[in-house]
């Protein structure tokens, strides 16, 4: 897993490294996702209907935010 110890936020650096940072965050997130897919987030209850929501249930939302998972 990649760890960022220092990031240069000067004006030129942000424009040049924006895609690199985006890829780094996406890679870190998808690694977290794989290890927490079956983690329960919450339970939604409406009268007698009950639905447990897991991290894996939100994959389409995460694809919109972080791009497709690496294969």
pLDDT in tens, 10-56: 655 555 567 778 888 888 899 999 999 999 999 999 999 999 999 99
Distance of CA 22 to the CA centre of its chain: 11
Element (H, E) at 16: helix 11-36
The larger pLDDT score, comparing residue 12 to residue 69, is at 69
User: Taking the domains of the chain in order of start, what are their residue ranges?
Assistant: 11-66
Q: Of 28, 33, 25, 26, whose CA–CA distance to 59 is shortest?
A: 33
* pTM for the structure as a whole: 0.65
Phi, psi torsion values for 13, nearest 5 degrees: -65, -40
């Amino acid at each position: 897993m990649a760890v960022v110890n220092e990031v240069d936020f000067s004006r030129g650096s942000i424009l040049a490294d924006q895609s690199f940072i985006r890829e780094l965050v996406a890679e870190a997130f998808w690694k977290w996702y794989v290890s927490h897919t079956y983690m329960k987030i919450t339970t939604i209850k409406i009268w007698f209907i009950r639905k447990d929501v897991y991290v894996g249930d939100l994959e389409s939302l995460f694809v919109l935010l972080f791009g497709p998972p690496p294969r």
